[in-house]
A and B are shown apart, each in its own frame.
Chain A
């Protein structure tokens, strides 16, 4: 018998995964659909709200958020100018769709990411298990999980959000973990010495002192989520990503550029606001002595 250096592992893996996905679709289709519907419900509401509100109000609200985050008028002016520019190139409505998807994706990322980061900071073994998973989530091409996601949740926004979360949550988990691990051990020890429980230490010392780092994680999550909008548009999520995709499909460089510019402007706006918030949190959080 001829000896083959490469046994055929590919076929069993491929068949196994296909069977597994099929099994999930057949047996848990209703459950995933219910989940998908409830997520969609919130998403659609948010999207309607953002698109239905007069852009003037949105511009004012964005300016206020920027001011609260930074206490600088200049930042407010910058973000308003950016948002106005998006409207001026005719992509306001698409931008609002994208923002809705982003906000939901980032919200889910925070709900998942911060607790996982906290557990990871406290349990070295959990961290050792989690780390390779996070590496995988960040490196595996998103199309690979978009296919089963689309099968389970249908085409459209929901798989787009899930794909975005998978791609965007790892930096938040890592930075939460890092932030908590880097909290000055003397302060944690002092808290313990006064009889604080683990929960009190977490609430009173570790989370507050890790906040700048956590905020950095949220910023990273937002940026990575924005990087996913074009890919998300390929499975039917509307928004500025779709504009880029249209430009690509119709060989229309101008439209593609407009979509690209809108994405860049949104990135700048989100980045500046979260960075400024993070910076203000740095105040009084460094241990001196």
Chain B
């Protein structure tokens, strides 16, 4: 069972939300509910499963209910209907005392507007969660200093939040959340108030920290690029209803509806998709070092290239033409393993953007290898082109569109950057 199970959460805002629940369950929409009853439908029948250790991103535009949803996890907002189970225990069943204990030890939170206490120093802000837990002063300040160091704010312990920049304030917020040692971290548009450069630094820092800490992170954002960059899984929320839940490649390559499609259209796919998601199986795999036999096989199957593999390990690619020339030469032919050209191979985890130069230079599809050097598939320029084209199909690629629009977008044209 997943660590966090969100089950059919519905939230209606208004004077008597419970009374309107039946209407919503019968399928009354947001606009109709507002017009007829004056109640706002915040969330409608949202269900999610969040696994331990993953970064789960909930994405949506303002008004989509994403901030409302994340506040249900630690019950800063109570749902009108539905349940949230953490480790199989229903959070909705908690008494006030149990809820406070739960918030102190299981879930901590980072806020869009930081939520720091302006009258406390950085040190005392970071130590706050531990103070609420009832830890002794010496102990909580020791832990707080360690986290301040981890987020790179050593030397600022005695400063007040107003003396720090936005990015530094959010590091304080992050340190405060991490200091409680809660295994679940809720991040409500944590980086949205920061300027782009600081934001991407913070994203990197979060991903880096996560590799060490293995927390379960629920991350809210309105920025799809951010979602794709840090998310293991992404849920897309629209008007309080889930549009799609999936991994970044699933969202990009198989958008569930027009809303998601419109979202992903402007994404720089080359930067998000990895080679592994678009490679194809190698057509011709040669597992011996006999040149004549290899040439004969290639002729028989009418293939121009073959991928040479020795004990599962990729050794290089050979063309029919090169083999013919080599065999025609006088003297002993070298081993096929050493003859094969292994200069062009890309790694499985590599983004398409990074793989693009190799793919365009090579005359044949480029071999894709995993970290052990095993051949996993091949990547052709055509295959790559087909996924880089937007789902609505009429745009050739991101680069061309950007140029025609005056290059105002922050993503640079792929073709230029690749060169």
Contact = CB atoms under 8 A, between A and B. Distances in A.
A196 B176 CA distance: 14
Contact of A289 (B101, B129, B166): B166
Given A193-B108, A195-B100, A195-B102, A285 B118 contact: yes
Consensus secondary structure, chain A interface = helix
Interface string B113-150: 11111110000000011011100000000000000000
Contact of A194 (B114, B118, B128, B166): B128
Given A194-B132, A195-B100, A284 B118 contact: yes
Contacts of A208: 117, 119
B132 A196 contact: yes
A62 B161 CA distance: 34
B111 A197 contact: no
Contacts, number: 86
Contacts of B162: 284, 286, 288
Interface centre among A194, A197, A209, A287, by most chain B C-beta atoms within 10 angstroms, is A194
Nearest to B159: A284
Given A193-B108, A289-B169, A289-B193, A187 B117 contact: yes
B109 A195 contact: no
A190 interface: yes
Contacts of B415: none
Contacts of A195: 99-105, 129, 132-133
A193 B116 contact: no
A129 interface: no
Contacts of B103: 192-195
Contacts of B161: 284, 287-289
A286 B105 CA distance: 29
A287 B160 CA distance: 10
A186 B111 contact: yes
Interface string B169-181: 1000000100010
A284 B121 CA distance: 9
A231 B410 CA distance: 72
A242 to B, nearest CB: 43
Interface in A268-289: 284-289
Contact of A197 (B100, B114, B129): B100
Nearest to A190: B115
A221 B107 CA distance: 44
Contacts of B115: 186-187, 189-190, 193
Contacts of B99: 195
Contacts of A59: none
Interface centre among B99, B132, B186, by most chain A C-beta atoms within 10 angstroms, is B132
B20 interface: no
Contacts of A30: none
A192 B78 CA distance: 14
B322 interface: no
Interface in B83-118: 99-105, 107-109, 111, 113-118
A208 B118 CA distance: 10
B76 A193 contact: yes
A21 interface: no
Contacts of B107: 193
A200 interface: yes
Contact of B113 (A192, A285, A289): A289
A287 B162 CA distance: 7
A187 B76 contact: no
A178 interface: no
Contacts of A209: 117-119
A102 B117 CA distance: 35
B74 interface: yes
The 10 closest A-B pairs by CB, nearest first: A190-B115, A195-B104, A195-B103, A193-B109, A284-B160, A195-B100, A288-B162, A194-B129, A186-B115, A186-B113
Given A189-B76, A194-B103, A194-B180, 19 more contacts: A186-B113, A186-B114, A187-B115, A187-B116, A189-B111, A189-B115, A190-B115, A192-B103, A193-B103, A193-B115, A194-B109, A195-B104, A204-B131, A284-B118, A284-B119, A285-B119, A286-B118, A287-B161, A289-B161
Interface of B: 74, 76, 99-105, 107-109, 111, 113-119, 128-129, 131-133, 160-162, 166, 169, 176, 180, 186, 193
Interface of A: 186-187, 189-197, 200, 204-205, 208-209, 284-289
19 contacts: A186-B114, A187-B118, A192-B76, A193-B76, A193-B107, A193-B108, A193-B186, A194-B103, A194-B108, A194-B180, A195-B104, A195-B105, A195-B132, A195-B133, A204-B131, A286-B118, A286-B162, A287-B161, A289-B116
